[in-house]
Amino acid sequence: MNHQAKKITAEDVKTHGLSESEYAKILEIMGREPNLVELGIFSVMWSEHCSYKSSKKWLKTLPTTAPWVICGPGENAGVIDIGDGLAAIFKMESHNHPSFIEPYQGAATGVGGILRDVFTMGARPIANMNALRFGSPDHPKTRHLVSGVVSGIGGYGNCVGVPTVGGEVNFHPSYNGNILVNAMTVGLADQDKIFYSAAAGAGNSVVYVGSKTGRDGIHGATMASAEFGADSEEKRPTVQVGDPFTEKLLIEACMELMATDAIQSIQDMGAAGLTSSSFEMASKGGMGVEIDLDKVPQREENMTAYEMMLSESQERMLIILKPGKEDLARKIFEKWELDFAVIGTLTTTGRMVLKHHGEVVGDLPIDPLAQASPEYDRPWVKTEVDPVVKAGDVKDIDWRHALRNLMGCPDIASRRWIWEQYDHMVMADTAQRPGGDAAVVRIHDTDRALAISTDCTPRYVKADPFEGGKQAVAETWRNITAVGGRPLAITDNLNFGNPTKPPIMGQIVEAIRGIGEACKALDYPVISGNVSLYNETDGKPILPTPAIGGVGVLDDIDRMTTVAFKNAGDVVILVGQADDAEGWLGQSLYLRELLSREDGAPPPVDLAHERRVGDFVRGLMHMGMITACHDLSDGGLAVGLAEMALAGNLGCLLQDPGTPRHSRLFGEDQGRYVLTVKAADADTVLAEAGTLNVPAKMLGVTGGRDIVLADGTSVEIAELRQLHEGWFPTYMSGKS
Amino acid sequence: MKAAVIVFPGSNCDRDIAIALEQSMGKPPAMVWHRDSELPKVDLIAVPGGFSYGDYLRCGAMAAHSPIMREVKRAAEKGTRILGICNGFQVITEAGLLDGVLMRNKDLRFICKDVHLRVEDAKSPFTAGYKKDEVIRVPIAHAEGNFFTDEDTLKRIEDKGMVAFRYATPEGDVTQDANPNGSLNNIAGIFNDKRTVLGMMPHPERLSDPTLGGTDGRKMFDGLVEALS
Amino acid sequence: MKARVHITLKNGVLDPQGKAVEHALHGLGFGGVSGVRQGKFIELNLTSTDRVAAKKEVEDMCRALLANTVIENYAVEVVD
A609-647 confidence digits (pLDDT tens): 999 999 999 999 999 999 999 999 999 999 999 999 999
Residue from the list C17, C65, C70 with its beta carbon closest to the beta carbon of B101 = C70
Residue A216: pLDDT band by 50, 70, 90 thresholds?
confident
Per-window interface: B 110-139 vs C, CB < 8 A: none
Say how many domains are in chain B.
1
Q: Does residue B184 surpass a pLDDT of 50?
A: yes
**Is A427–B16 a contact, with Cβ atoms under 8 angstroms apart?**
yes
Report DSSP state, residue A542: P
What is the enclosing helix (H) or strand (E) of A131?
strand A124-134
Q: Minimal Cα–Cα distance from C70 to chain B, Å?
A: 7
- Going by C-alpha positions, the residue among A315, A618, A598 that lies closest to residue A437 is A618
Q: What percent of chain A is modeled with pLDDT above 70?
A: 96
Paired with B6 in beta bridges are B32
Residue A208 corresponds to which amino acid?
Y
**Is B109–A151 a contact, with Cβ atoms under 8 angstroms apart?**
yes
A721 in helix, strand or coil? helix
Residue from the list B10, B19, B110 with its beta carbon closest to the beta carbon of A245 = B10
Contacts of C66 in chain B (CB under 8 A): 57
pLDDT for position A372:
85
What is the enclosing helix (H) or strand (E) of A642?
helix A636-648
Q: What percent of chain A is modeled with pLDDT above 90?
A: 85
The DSSP code sequence of A60-84 is TTS----TTEEE-BTBSSEEEEEET
Contacts of C20 in chain B (CB under 8 A): 108
pLDDT for position A347:
97
Task: Return mean pLDDT, chain A.
Answer: 93
State whether residue C28 sits within 8 Å of chain B by CB.
Answer: no
Contacts of B12 in chain A (CB under 8 A): 159-161, 248, 426-427
**Is A159–B209 a contact, with Cβ atoms under 8 angstroms apart?**
no
A540-596 confidence digits (pLDDT tens): 999 999 999 999 999 999 999 999 999 999 999 999 998 778 999 999 999 999 999
CB A102 within 8 A of CB A560: no
> What number of other Cβ atoms are within 10 A of residue A220's Cβ?
12
Q: Does residue A482 surpass a pLDDT of 90?
A: yes
Residue C64: pLDDT band by 50, 70, 90 thresholds?
confident
A395-437 confidence digits (pLDDT tens): 999 999 999 999 999 999 999 999 999 999 999 999 999 999 9
Q: Does residue A273 surpass a pLDDT of 50?
A: yes
For residue A380, what are the CA distances in angstroms to A59, A133, A289, A663, C66?
Answer: 15, 25, 40, 35, 61
Residue from the list B12, B16, B208 with its beta carbon closest to the beta carbon of A248 = B12
Task: Return mean pLDDT, chain B.
Answer: 96
Please give the sequence-ordered ranges of beta strands (E in DSSP) within A519-578, or none if there are none: 526-532, 536-537, 540-541, 545-554, 571-575
Per-window interface: B 64-83 vs C, CB < 8 A: 65
pLDDT for position A6:
72
Point out the catalytic residue in the list A16, A49, A219, A609: A49
Q: Does residue A2 surpass a pLDDT of 70?
A: no
Contacts of B49 in chain A (CB under 8 A): 426
> What number of other Cβ atoms are within 10 A of residue C70's Cβ?
18
A323-356 confidence digits (pLDDT tens): 999 999 999 999 999 999 999 999 999 999 999 9
* Residue A222: φ, ψ to 5°: -70, -35
Q: What is the mean pLDDT of residues A181-188?
A: 98
Query: Between the CA atoms of A94, A99, A101 and A103, what dihedral angle is there, to the nearest 10 degrees?
Result: 180
A690-728 confidence digits (pLDDT tens): 999 999 999 999 999 999 999 999 999 999 999 999 999
**Is B212–A429 a contact, with Cβ atoms under 8 angstroms apart?**
yes
- Going by C-alpha positions, the residue among A249, A264, A169 that lies closest to residue A207 is A264
**CA angle A182–A669–A571, rounded 5-degree value:** 105
Neighbors of chain A with 3 or more C-beta pairs under 8 Å: B
CB B186 within 8 A of CB B119: no
| Preferred mutation among B101, B147, B156 to probe C, highest tally of C CBs within 10 A | B101
CB A572 within 8 A of CB A653: no
Q: Does residue A239 surpass a pLDDT of 80?
A: no
Residue A238: pLDDT band by 50, 70, 90 thresholds?
low
CB B168 within 8 A of CB B116: yes
* Residue B211: φ, ψ to 5°: -60, -25
Q: Does residue A261 surpass a pLDDT of 70?
A: yes
Q: Does residue A32 surpass a pLDDT of 50?
A: yes
**Is C71–B65 a contact, with Cβ atoms under 8 angstroms apart?**
no
CB A547 within 8 A of CB A131: yes
Give me the domain span that covers residue B60.
3-228
What is the enclosing helix (H) or strand (E) of A472?
helix A465-482
Q: Minimal Cα–Cα distance from B140 to chain A, Å?
A: 9
**Is A161–B209 a contact, with Cβ atoms under 8 angstroms apart?**
no
State whether residue C14 sits within 8 Å of chain B by CB.
Answer: yes
pLDDT for position A434:
96
- Going by C-alpha positions, the residue among A579, A586, A534, A717 that lies closest to residue A641 is A717
pLDDT for position A221:
38
Q: Residue A735: left if φ>0, alpha if ψ -120 to 50, beta else—which one?
A: alpha
Please tell us whether the domain made up of C2-79 is placed in CATH 1.10.150.80.
Answer: no
Is A95 labeled as catalytic in the residue annotation?
Answer: yes
Point out the catalytic residue in the list B86, B116, B120, B144: B86
For residue C67, what are the CA distances in angstroms to A610, B11, B84?
Answer: 61, 22, 21
**Is C14–B148 a contact, with Cβ atoms under 8 angstroms apart?**
yes
**Is A249–B206 a contact, with Cβ atoms under 8 angstroms apart?**
no
A68-80 confidence digits (pLDDT tens): 999 999 999 999 9
pLDDT for position A5:
61
pLDDT for position A219:
64
pLDDT for position A4:
53
Q: In CATH, what number is assigned to the domain containing residue B184?
A: 3.40.50.880
Residues in chain A: 736
CB A725 within 8 A of CB A670: no
State whether residue A146 sits within 8 Å of chain B by CB.
Answer: no
**Is B12–A161 a contact, with Cβ atoms under 8 angstroms apart?**
yes
Q: Which residues contact A384 (CB under 8 A, 6 or more apart)?
A: none
pLDDT for position A150:
98
The predicted complex's ipTM stands at: 0.97
Residue of C nearest to B65 (CA): C65
Helices A36-45 and A273-285, axial angle in degrees (round to 10): 70
pLDDT for position B65:
87
Q: Does residue C13 surpass a pLDDT of 80?
A: no
State whether residue A728 sits within 8 Å of chain B by CB.
Answer: no
What whole-number distance in Å separates Cα of residue A638 and Cα of residue B9? 49
Report DSSP state, residue B87: H
> What number of other Cβ atoms are within 10 A of residue A234's Cβ?
7
What whole-number distance in Å separates Cα of residue B197 and Cα of residue B119? 16
Poorest-confidence range of A74-88, A215-229, B130-144? A215-229
Residue A215: pLDDT band by 50, 70, 90 thresholds?
confident
Contacts of B205 in chain A (CB under 8 A): 428
Residue A300: pLDDT band by 50, 70, 90 thresholds?
confident
Residue from the list B58, B61, B108 with its beta carbon closest to the beta carbon of C16 = B108
* Residue A178: φ, ψ to 5°: -160, 80
What whole-number distance in Å separates Cα of residue A355 and Cα of residue A295? 10
CB A468 within 8 A of CB A559: no
For residue A122, what are the CA distances in angstroms to A125, A154, A195, B99?
Answer: 9, 24, 6, 43
Q: Does residue A228 surpass a pLDDT of 50?
A: no
Q: β-strands B81-85, B197-200: how paired?
A: parallel
